[in-house]
Structure 1
């Protein structure tokens, strides 16, 4: 198969053709999931808005972000069953876990955003809010910030592509969860972070639709977010 055909097959397997499954639940459980998801969303949005306004170097940032991860994760597990999901293999089976595909998607997103940094670095209006967010790693402990990034990435996917996705219903779940994810991120008042949430949210939402679970979105999210944490600061510094 030629490279274009390989790419087309990869996109269809990873983001287009759903893996068969049956995750139906009783109406009472579905309504309960919606209530828990709504309460969690309100608490999480408030905590995120507070956490991203804390000055770099302030220990309160660590407390706020770990608390935020706890809210997303507890709300997700309290809402009902969560599934890891399955992915298509190259020979057409649907019995593998979505790890390799997800790593590739995460790396593709990372490359796209690092290319975008070439433009961002030249525009102070876009660069400065991002730089202030990255300063948490510069003025604090990079290892702790990396742990926060990883823990929150997992927790966000447990909630947005787990509890919330299942609570929305099948018809518009990708669109709704992507929009809600972007709106919640808008509490940061960082334009590029909102754009990132929309794009990453769309990709992992499509993964959730295809795989029926949260493993693929988690792997993609972590690959992208940890890559951005370690690679974006030197790229911005070199281009600014």
Structure 2
């Protein structure tokens, strides 16, 4: 895990010439088009411990978190709370930041502090995590390692994955980090994320991401996770 921390610090430091102006520009855009607050802070799980404050750009109307959350929106086909890109909750500045993949850039301060990592599974509200645990006993595996700015599930896209598929990808990543971490795993995910956001490469499929994790890690448990249960079969037992 030490080498993963070194990777985080080196990448964030070298990329400061890019991300610091991006944070300043994004903050100015939000301020001028939708006012304060510029940043949205919320309690999120970033690991196996208690929730902590996580910051990102405010991309929605000011009361969006009270209107749409896992307690107010009934569970239908997914327990992850995925808000559609065309939702009226997004501001014009928010849509632009989302499209450019800049919404979570402020979370690089959490990476520098050691609270988060560059590559890992996304932070989650406690009520979303509880909803997942109610249905999937292995959901907790996604927080065996620290939450990240981007992760393997983002290579597919949250709307293209079922809950079971996403959890298996996220669990496979954590087991790969714990059981045989190789620097090229995070490098491969980060590079592919940048290429996808820049529209230079297409998104991957569930199978392709699982294969990428297996090829770039020393963990045999990655293969075991995918073989012991079919994500599509698991979805058939989901309770709405």
Q: Given the two structures, how large is their TM-score scaled by the length of structure 1?
A: 0.25
Q: TM-score, normalised by structure 2?
A: 0.25
Between Structure 1 and Structure 2, the one with more strand by share is 2
